[in-house]
């Protein structure tokens, strides 16, 4: 029996969030909706340009781990922080969320990672990320015992930017498969896919990835098409391997689960007000993975993902404000 439902591995990042009009993005040369990697000088510049901010622990896989714990799942996280004020904040927050986090902090080198997020009135987020300490996650940080204890090992596409993290990624995936676990990958961002398209497709085609997460834009980028149906057909051709599964989100449209045998859909949950889309995909993954860990039907996995995403987009920040297990009980998904 697995001691952990899902082990999440990714960049440990503290989010610095502000609300801004679109002309602010233009004034600072920001590509709306994108995640751009920046250096420390640019980080200092953008922070000075921001209005009032909220400082909240984030990072894609860390958000997913927090969502899993909020649903009642047993979640763990690997990610690198520096032993500084923001690093200590991050460690406190993710552990307080109920996630096991034992990666040793760096005692030297760059500071804990920060993502400067500009949220426009339509709820869209534009991220500018200084990777700092998190790009120093290495194979040495991959605890074999923890990986072997997890039913699913979940990896974020953003990890493909730091070279050392690629090796850590592959080590974790190999350990997971040798112990009978499954490996999940989220594509993270269409610009990330643009950088590493061939490598991501290679991970799927060589069987290193069993479960793939993508939104509509990422999927179209993966298969270099502007047409969603064409991208979906290309994805379905990848599902010839037994057991391969893909989960695809489409903003306010139905989410899809794609296997070799079938495609299942489920609608989004209604919301009162869209505030901030930061973490929507991360929390969708948390619900979907929680459902898989409990051997739920794919339609329920999609609904759990949609429920978690609906909670997160109605407030600032990518960690749940309400207990997701309570929300699931209210809609009959407990």
Cβ proximity of 14 and 67 under 8 Å: no
Helix axes 298-312, 60-70, angle to 10 degrees: 110
What is the pTM assigned to this prediction? 0.91
> Which of 55-64, 97-106, 160-169, 316-325 comes out lowest in average pLDDT?
160-169
Q: What is the mean pLDDT of residues 323-333?
A: 97
Cα separation, 18 vs 28, whole angstroms:
14
Cα separation, 250 vs 262, whole angstroms:
18
pLDDT (0 to 100) of residue 277: 86
Q: What is the mean pLDDT of residues 79-107?
A: 96
pLDDT above 70 for 289? yes
Q: How confident is the model at residue 316 (pLDDT cuts 50, 70, 90)?
A: confident
Angle at 257 between CA 226 and CA 323, to 5 degrees: 110
Nearest to 12 by CA among 98, 108, 89, 125: 89
Q: What is the mean pLDDT of residues 286-307?
A: 98
Domain 4-330 classification at class level: alpha beta
Cα separation, 245 vs 182, whole angstroms:
11
Q: How confident is the model at residue 212 (pLDDT cuts 50, 70, 90)?
A: very high
Domain residue limits, the chain: 4-330
Query: Taking the CA of residue 89 as centre, how many other CA atoms within 13 Å lie in the half-sphere pointing to its CB?
Result: 15
Measuring CA to CA, how many Å separate 264 from each of 102, 213, 257? 37, 14, 5
Quickly count: other Cβ atoms within 10 Å of residue 100's Cβ: 18
The residues facing 248 across adjacent strands are 214, 256
Q: Between these two residues, 33 and 144, which has the higher pLDDT value?
A: 144
Helix (H) or strand (E) holding 150: strand 150-156
Q: What is the mean pLDDT of residues 310-318?
A: 92
Q: How confident is the model at residue 25 (pLDDT cuts 50, 70, 90)?
A: very high
Q: Is 325 helix (H, G, I), strand (E, B) or coil?
A: helix
Give pLDDT tens digits for 170-202.
999 999 999 999 999 999 888 899 999 999 999
Give pLDDT tens digits for 215-242.
999 999 999 999 999 999 999 888 766 6
Name 210's Cβ contacts closer than 8 Å, sequence gap at least 6.
182, 183, 184, 243, 244, 245
pLDDT above 90 for 135? no
Q: Is 307 helix (H, G, I), strand (E, B) or coil?
A: helix
Give pLDDT tens digits for 245-266.
999 999 999 999 999 889 999 9
Q: How confident is the model at residue 1 (pLDDT cuts 50, 70, 90)?
A: low
Cβ proximity of 125 and 117 under 8 Å: yes
Token couple for 157:
């596409």
Quickly count: other Cβ atoms within 10 Å of residue 224's Cβ: 12
**At residue 278, what are phi and psi to the nearest 5 degrees?**
-55, 125
CA 25 to chain centre: 24
Helix (H) or strand (E) holding 236: helix 228-238
């Amino acid at each position: 029996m697995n001691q952990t439902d899902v082990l999440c591995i990714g960049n440990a990042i503290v989010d610095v969030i502000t609300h801004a009009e679109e002309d602010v993005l233009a004034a600072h040369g920001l590509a709306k909706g994108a995640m751009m990697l920046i250096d420390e000088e640019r980080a200092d510049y953008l922070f000075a340009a921001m209005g009032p901010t909220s400082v909240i622990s984030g990072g894609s896989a860390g958000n997913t781990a927090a969502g899993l714990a909020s649903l009642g799942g047993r979640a763990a996280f690997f990610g690198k922080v520096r032993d500084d004020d923001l690093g200590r904040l991050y460690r406190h927050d993710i552990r307080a969320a109920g996630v096991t986090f034992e990666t040793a902090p760096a005692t030297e080198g760059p500071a804990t990672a920060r993502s400067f997020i500009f949220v426009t009135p339509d709820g869209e987020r534009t991220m500018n990320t200084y990777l700092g300490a998190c790009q120093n996650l290495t194979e040495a940080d991959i605890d074999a015992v923890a990986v072997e204890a997890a039913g699913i090992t979940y990896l974020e596409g953003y990890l493909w930017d730091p070279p050392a993290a690629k090796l850590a990624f592959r080590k974790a995936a190999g350990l997971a498969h040798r112990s009978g676990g499954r490996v999940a990958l989220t594509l993270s961002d269409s610009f990330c896919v643009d950088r590493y398209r061939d490598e991501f497709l290679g991970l799927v085609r060589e069987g290193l990835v069993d479960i793939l997460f993508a939104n509509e834009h990422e999927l179209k980028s993966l298969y270099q098409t502007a047409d969603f149906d064409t991208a979906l057909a290309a994805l379905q051709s990848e599902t010839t391997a037994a057991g391969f599964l893909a989960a695809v989100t489409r903003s306010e449209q139905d989410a899809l689960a794609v296997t070799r045998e079938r495609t299942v859909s489920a609608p989004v949950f209604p919301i009162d007000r869209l505030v901030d889309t930061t973490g929507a995909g991360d929390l969708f993954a948390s619900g979907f993975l929680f459902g898989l860990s409990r051997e739920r039907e794919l339609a329920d996995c999609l609904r759990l993902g949609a429920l978690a995403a609906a909670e997160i987009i109605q407030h600032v920040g990518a960690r749940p404000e309400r207990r997701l297990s309570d929300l699931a009980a209210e809609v009959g998904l407990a």
